[in-house]
Amino acid sequence: MGLKVVLPCLLVCYIFLYYNGVEGYMKLSKEEDLEIEKELKRLNKPAVKTIKVKIKYIYDCVNFYKQPAFDHPLLKNHNFHPQMRPTSPPRRVSPEKEVPKPDYKPVKMGLEGGGCPMGTVPIRRTTKDDLIRAKLYSEMHASKINPLTDDQPGKHFAVAQTIADIDYDGVGAILSVWNLPVQAPQYTSGRVKIKNGAESLEAGWTVNPGLYGGDNRTRMYIYTNAGQAHCFNTPCGFIQSSIDIPVDMVLEPVSRYGEKPYGITLSIYQDTINLNWYLKYDDNRTVIGWWPSRIFTNLGSTATGAEWGGEVFSPSNVPSPGMGSGHRIKLDTNYDAFCAQANIVVNNTIIKPPRDLEQFADNFNFNITNKGDVGGDPGYLILYGGVSGAIGN
């Protein structure tokens, strides 16, 4: 019996245990247990070095070629290497006018001590409980992956999205980073997203204690929805290349309501020559890693849409957590969660999104607004957020 057969039952029981006041775990059959142990062995590769972070987690510095991405069946034969960089990074154009970006403080990124040795990459060590949670939450997130519908109870969002019928080579923004009260299996996130049909890539920040064993700290995250594979962070074909910025690292400090916010700059864009999708951090365009084009069907060629904004999840009969800063927006970046310098890449050029962005919030608890050309060069300032308490669809 594979893990896919076990997951639906596990998910129902997991949510039932949390919301009846008891956090516990199902007893697995011997066959199920062996399947998970096999998966653990695949994920936890021999480490050249271990990095213990102060929040009880261990990152193993794994040989670049031994990382979990290369267990993907479509990546068995490849020519990727640790020093690989984009062959055609997108170019910037001079602005029509200089406009200030929001006054914010960048979150300091990187593992202590400089990270891993050259030729290795940091991969968070996975326990059996971690694996079960990751599988469950990936399935749960995938079941709600299609926005702008009301047939997925518990999922709420406030997004600005493109509707222009053009090819998109990338998406990016400065995202203010927040931490809100969340109880598993709830989560709250802010992200950028690129998509084509059923396939999509997300990058941003999240508070997701169910995924991280009760840890309510804010983390960076990515989510991959490629073909039949969908997962958080690295198991679904994302190739980690940074030696000191893992995709699931804790983000500290975070923004405080009414004060100058903390933020991170993230972008996802496609190399127009090799068609791989790169994840980059900060204004210096530091490469964290990439998604090989061969793992996609639709996104293997181009993207047809981009999104910026927030999302939350809670079981349909349980009030949702807040979104963004946890307050209704006040049109002030010291109070509101934002995606600043929101941009797209078209024809390998970083530009402002089309003026006709569609803004959508599926519940009156949440809202979003595009303030337009005030968020820096190039891009828009998109503000989003809302209070806790949404129930159902």
pLDDT tens digits for 54-75?
777 899 999 999 998 998 999 9
> Distances from the Cα of 36 to the Cαs of 4, 29, 43, 133, in angstroms?
11, 11, 10, 12
Asked whether residue 175 is domain-assigned, the answer is: yes
Mean pLDDT of the chain: 85
> Is residue 266 a part of any domain in this protein?
yes
Q: DSSP string of 169-197?
A: -EEEEEEE-------TT-EEEEEEEEEET
In a domain, 172, yes or no: yes
On whether residue 333 sits in a domain, the answer given is yes
Give residue-wise pLDDT tens across range 281-325: 986 678 999 999 999 999 999 999 999 999 999 988 899 999 999
pLDDT on residue 377: 60
Least confident of 133-142, 166-175, 229-238, 312-321: 133-142
The strand pairing partners of 222, in sequence order, are 203
* pLDDT of amino acid 298: 94
Answer yes or no: is pLDDT of 3 > 80: no
| Residue 276, in any domain of the structure | yes
In the chain, the number of structural domains is 1
Instruction: Indicate whether 13 belongs to any domain.
Output: no
Q: List, in sequence order, the alpha helices (H) in 120-211.
A: 128-142
Distances (CA, A) of 10 to 13, 38, 138, 203: 5, 18, 13, 27
Highest mean pLDDT among 21-35, 88-102, 281-295: 281-295
Task: Provide the domain limits for residue 191.
Answer: 44-386
CA pair distance 164, 305, nearest whole angstrom: 8
